[in-house]
């Protein structure tokens, strides 16, 4: 089972939005069953699921004390993927999520302030020695700042950075009104394509990290 934690110690970077969109995209690609573990006290993922007509992805609530049991429970029920949606601040639950994850994904905006703000999150993954990567979210249309931000992130933190930014698009929020994802609201649209491309990049990263851990015969 693949376990991905989305970590961001700064609010407003789209952590929950991306987590849920990636969960639905994984279902579309047949990588399920998929579970999302909502570790944020705001319970945004739980509320999204209550508006959703489809039964999947399965959304559970957990905290630092019981997230390990939640992951084991979905593993025992044959889930192929679990995504951890964490608190928007440094906390015991964020550290525990990073410790339990196969890969941590760090969403980051394109501004210098956004890039500086992920230093605490990077500190967590270094502390837990968890493979991690950065995805640029809320990129600016027709602006060179996106490429500049990706280069700066690579130089500043030495982590893999997804070469495909996700642009700031209203459709990503509009889909959440009735518990959908953008691929269901506007299939084939630009936002759906960006979610698909970034998720495939994350999945490929997980596969590479898994291969590193395999014991040679």
pLDDT higher at 217 or 23:
23
118 inside domain: yes
pLDDT digits (tens, 9 = 90+) for 111-141: 999 999 999 999 999 999 999 999 999 999 9
Report how many domains make up the chain: 1
Q: What is the DSSP letter of 178?
A: G
CATH number at residue 35: 3.40.50.300
pLDDT recorded at residue 90: 66
Place of tokens 């939640």: 70
pLDDT tops 90 at residue 101: yes
**% of residues, the chain, pLDDT over 70:** 98
Mean pLDDT of 89-113: 93
pLDDT exceeds cutoff 50 at 168: yes
Asked if the structure places residue 217 within a domain, the reply is no
Which position has the token pair 């693949």? Answer: 2
Query: pTM for the full model?
Result: 0.96
Alpha-carbon dihedral 76, 195, 21, 90, rounded to 10 degrees: 80
Domain that holds residue 33: 2-211
Residue 19, in any domain of the structure? yes
The arithmetic mean of pLDDT across residues 70-83, rounded, is 97
Mean pLDDT of the 43-65 span: 96
Question: Domain for residue 216, yes or no?
Answer: no
Q: Provide Rg for the chain, Cα atoms.
A: 16
Contacts of 105 (CB under 8 A, 6+ apart): 4, 5, 6, 7, 18, 132, 133, 134, 135, 202
- Report if residue 144 sits inside a domain: yes
């Amino acid at each position: 089972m693949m376990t991905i934690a989305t970590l961001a110690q700064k609010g407003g970077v789209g952590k929950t939005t991306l987590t849920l969109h990636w969960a639905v995209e994984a279902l579309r690609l047949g990588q399920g069953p998929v579970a999302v573990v909502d570790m944020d006290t705001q319970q945004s993922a739980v509320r999204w699921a209550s508006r959703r007509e489809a039964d999947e992805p399965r959304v559970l609530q957990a905290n630092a004390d019981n997230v390990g049991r939640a992951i084991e429970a979905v593993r025992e029920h044959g889930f192929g993927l679990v995504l951890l949606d964490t608190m928007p601040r440094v906390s015991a639950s964020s550290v525990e999520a990073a410790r339990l994850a196969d890969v941590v994904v760090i969403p980051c905006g394109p501004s210098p302030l956004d890039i500086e703000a992920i230093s605490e999150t990077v500190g967590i993954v270094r502390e837990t020695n968890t493979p991690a990567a950065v995805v640029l979210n809320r990129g600016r249309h027709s602006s060179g700042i996106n490429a500049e931000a990706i280069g700066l992130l690579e130089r500043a933190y030495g982590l893999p950075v997804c070469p495909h930014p996700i642009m700031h698009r209203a459709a990503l929020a509009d889909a959440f009104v009735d518990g959908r994802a953008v691929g269901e609201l506007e299939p084939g649209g630009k936002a759906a394509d960006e979610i698909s491309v970034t998720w495939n990049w994350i999945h490929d990263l997980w596969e590479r990290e898994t291969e590193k851990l395999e014991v040679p015969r």
